[in-house]
Amino acid sequence: MNSNNVEDTGYTQAMGHLLVLYTQVDQFIMEACAERIASAPGQSARLGLAKQVGDECRHVGIQSRWMEEFGVDPGPVISQRVLEQLHSHFRGLDWVDFLTDLYLVVEALGSQAVEQVVPLADPGTRESLRVPLQDELDHVAFGLSELHKALADMDPQLRKTRLEKIPVRIQGFVNFLQRLDVPVVDWFEQVGASSQQLCAVLSQRKDELLSELAA
């Protein structure tokens, strides 16, 4: 599938759902980061979260403008109930778990999945993803750096225990996301992505993140 598929209603609908999903996730991240600013440990964490709130706000604006032009049904694909569930999940996490779930899973694996769609997307959608995906790299770098700092501040035994728990935690949160009632894999396939390839890319990205953390 390539950029000529805007005439294909299956493509347009599925891409529309993915765009709504991405925008809802950005909005969610914006709110979750804003809530964490006051309790974040240290000035660099607070400044990084505040910058990210601004970035995600810009992404929501870019995506919303593009969705209107593209003629996407703006109806939410994540229900209010699920969003509230996700907010309460994040509110209950300590700083290390918050960083793990938000930056390793939602930001790093999420934007890796979006990257897979870019070559399959029509030119307008591809352009709408350019700035947001560039910023997501900064967000992942911020999350990894804060996670490194938080782990480095722990005594070695605790650090070891927390580090060992991270892969399980990532898998647990991925499973939680998969149980939400959002047929995201179907949409990926409908825009021409292979779910098998997507899984392989995400698994490789997860391994890279884990080795970066352990370094």
Binding site for Fe ion (CB under 5 A): 26, 56, 59, 132, 136, 139
Nearer to Fe ion, 12 or 128 (CB): 128
Sequential DSSP letters for 28-58? HHHHHHHHHTTTSSSHHHHHHHHHHHHHHHH
For the CB of residue 52, give the shortest distance to Fe ion in the complex, in Å.
6
Nearer to Fe ion, 1 or 62 (CB): 62
For the CB of residue 132, give the shortest distance to Fe ion in the complex, in Å.
5
Identify the CA nearest to 59 among candidates 110, 14, 4: 110
For the CB of residue 29, give the shortest distance to Fe ion in the complex, in Å.
5
Nearer to Fe ion, 56 or 122 (CB): 56
Calpha distance 2→122 (Å, rounded)? 7
Nearer to Fe ion, 30 or 166 (CB): 30
Sequential DSSP letters for 93-161? --HHHHHIIIIIIIIIIHHHHHHHHGGGS-HHHHHHHHHHHHHHHHHHHHHHHHHHHHHHTS-HHHHHH
For the CB of residue 164, give the shortest distance to Fe ion in the complex, in Å.
27
For the CB of residue 64, give the shortest distance to Fe ion in the complex, in Å.
12
Identify the CA nearest to 70 among candidates 129, 1, 29: 129
Nearer to Fe ion, 46 or 165 (CB): 46
